[in-house]
Every structure is written in structure tokens, then in C-alpha cells.
Structure 1
Amino acid sequence: MEVTINLSESLEQNAGKYFDKAKKLKKKIPGIKETIELNKSKLSNIKIPEKTKKSIQKKEWYEKFRWFISSDGYLIIGGRDATTNEILIKKYTEKNDIIFHTELPGSPFVVIKNPHVSKIPESTLSEAAEFCASFSKSWKSGRTTAEVYYVNPEQLSKEVPSGMMGLPKGTFMIYGKRNFIEAKLNIAICNINEKIMSGPLSAVKKSAQKYVEIIPGSDKLSDVAKKVQKIIGGDLDEIIRALPSECTIKK
């Protein structure tokens, strides 16, 4: 504390002034303490809202592809384009999986994951075929069904017959017997624990009570996604990623 001495006054006079100031301050101390306690009480009653943090869910490896869970519980994955088709077959397909493609060009490769080496039910085979057909060019053509075949992984190869040019990215040669299914085109979309899933109606109905059926149409994709979001919630960008192009909501 800095003390200022008035040289024109005696030492006793200076001391007296500081003594008087000290007495005045001492009288104020109880009031100051009371004010502090009062403010403490007020502050303790103020409810400070917690910041709501948007939960960031860890994405599963298969979410970079199209995917759904079949009504029998099998994970089914489809490529989005030539690059993801190539990655799906080369990196994520194992010997006990089943691979689907439409008979006509212009579809994703679709894979039923079979890690437990079980006999895959007919219902799951049908749903995988429907998924493959619905995300193929057949969706835009106005057709209601498409011919889809399935094969084993060892039947796919990048090797081509002698004299034939190499295959472009995302395409493979198919050798051996193909198993054909006439698949219906149908897609529904739902929200499972903040993960947006689109797949055949039968599979979606098994996974969620609230869902939206999607049919071919010419509505703007973002508009369709916003309508879907109002019904099932979820992230708008993820809904857009899960929808087929050129679609609308079934009324």
C-alpha cells in the first residue's frame, strides 16, 4: 500500500487523517461482506445451460458404400460408382460372400457379407437382388423389374481373353454359372440410431417402424431429402447419399 505524506502538515496530523480513513473503511467491511454473500447466493441460483454438443458417431467402414441390413440380419453392401465397385470387390469381398449384378450394364456390384459361412436364406438373396436392381439404370428407365444374377467371388476376374482390351475400373469378367433372379425395383429409407439406411421395403420394415417409400420420379433430390428428414429425422446429407437419383416419395 502506498502512503502519501503531506509535508505541510505535522506527522500527527498525517497519522490522524489515515486513522480516520481506516475507521470509515472498517465500518464498510460488514456491508461489503454482506454484498459478497448476497451475490454468491444469487450466482448459485443461476442455471447455466449446458452446451448441447452434436454427437459425432463413428462411421462404420461399410458406410462409404450403399448398404442395408437384410430382413434376416445380413449386411449387404453396394458400390456407388466405378471406384467404389472396384474397392468393394477387391478389398472387402471374401470367399464366402455372394456377389450380385444386373444382366444389363449399369448397376453397382452388390455383396452379401457372410462371415459365419451360413446358408443364405432366399429372402436375403431376393432383397440383395432388389437392391442391385433399384440402384441400376433400370430405376430411371421406368421398369418395375430387372434381371439380376449372383455368383461366387472366385468367378470374378480382371483377366480378359487373349486379344481383348483390359477392363475399365469397376468392371470384372464373370466366369462360370450365373444364378438369375427377376428382381422388383423398390426402395425405402429409414433412420436406425442416426444411421440412414435405404434398402428394399421388406428389409427396412424389419429394421424400423418409421420409414419412407421411394419411387422413381423427377423431384429435386434435396427437396425429397428434406421431406424424408421431416418424417424420419437424421442428417440431410446422409439422406441425400442414401437416395437413388431421380426419385420421389410414394404417396
Structure 2
Amino acid sequence: MSENAYVYLLRDPEGRIVYVGKGTRQRPYQPHNDDYDLARARSSDVLITAVPFSSEKDAELAESLLIRVLGDNGSDLVNRAQLVHSSAFVPLVPQSDGVVRYEEFRNAIFVKIHPARIDAQRDVVSGLTGSAAAAERCRRYWPIGAAVARGDDIRYLVAVSTAAVQPVRVLGVWETRPVAEWDVEAGARAGVRGGAIELVDPAAGDVGGNRGRELDWQGYSPQLIGFSADVRAKW
């Protein structure tokens, strides 16, 4: 434990939390900034963790989370760095502004990704997952035999969340290799059903810039996988 890793709360005369800080047990009574010093002059009602955190880094994370939660719930905090500290939270599902429509995709195969972990090879895909790791979950294992047999002109893999996530969002878009190079036996070798979609660059998972956007299916309702309208029109 670190003596510099206490987290404390300053409350106003009505008992409302107005400041979240970290430091030593003496820190609450030392100068901070004009707003804090004025608030402490009105009330010295301080709550502090009974024991310090194991490190200053852990205390800073706890401080950041408290600032975010209190701020989101309407607390009028005098912390001047609260907007910076809010970065302690990231979206569990990738998020970005805007809506992309199904009809905007061309030469694409869609795969629906459930938020839960399936097995050791198919882990959770979240806002914390890098493109290369997400690619390993999203490219396998799928019923792709018919697409390979037809020789569909598919150039992009579009991973989207299932209806378990609302609204449905694009989790990633990768450029694919030609379907003739896809590994239809990948699942059989792993003891599961389905094949693997081969990608040009697994680390490039936001081709077209739609990652995190809400997806409007426009009435299209595929099951495990789906295809863009131009691909379906050639069957």
C-alpha cells in the first residue's frame, strides 16, 4: 500500500459531494485550487478511504471513476480535471457518431458477433479490442461453403453486433482475400463447424471508417451471416 494513495471526498454543508481527490491523509487540508479552497472553507466534511490503495495508479483510477460516475449523475464537482479523468471509461461496444445503412456496403459479407465469449479462440469483441485480435474472432467460424462454391465477389468482411446489443453497431470492417483463398475446412480442424474468412490485413479493422456506427439493416434480416445487396443480386 502507498501512503500517497488515499481517495477522499469533500462534502458541502448539505452533504453533497463537491470534490474527489487522491493523495496522503493530509492532502484534503492542503491548498488545491480556488474553487476547492472556497468549498473547504464552507465545509471540512471529508470522507477518506479507510486504507490506501496499493498504488498511486490504482488510486488515480478510482478517483477517475468516481468523478465520472458522480458527474454523469448531476453532481456539481469543483474538480478542474474531471473531463480529462473521464477517459477512465471507454465504450464496451465500439461507438462513433452516425448511422450507416445496409445499402451503402458493396462486395461485403456480414457476420453477426454476439458480445459474449464463445471459446478460447473466439473472445469478446469490445471497445478495448484491437483490430487484429477482433479479426480473429470475427473471421471464423462461419458457413461460407456456398459463397466459396459460387465464387462470390466479396472484398470486405463487415462484423456487426447481434440484437443482444442495442442499437446494432458495426464492430469492424476488413478487406478480404478472394473467396477462393478462404479456408472452408478451418472449423473441422478445430472441432467446430464452419470455415475462416481470409483477410488482407487483420490489423486494419476500420476500412471505410464505419467502425462503431449504428447499422440500419433497412429490413434485411440475415441469420449468422449475410451479404450485401450487390452480391445477392448475382445469385
- TM norm structure 1: 0.22
Q: Answer 1 or 2: which has greater helix percent.
A: 1
Report 1 or 2 for greater relative contact order, CA contacts < 8 Å, sequence distance ≥ 6: 2
- TM-score, normalising length from structure 2? 0.23
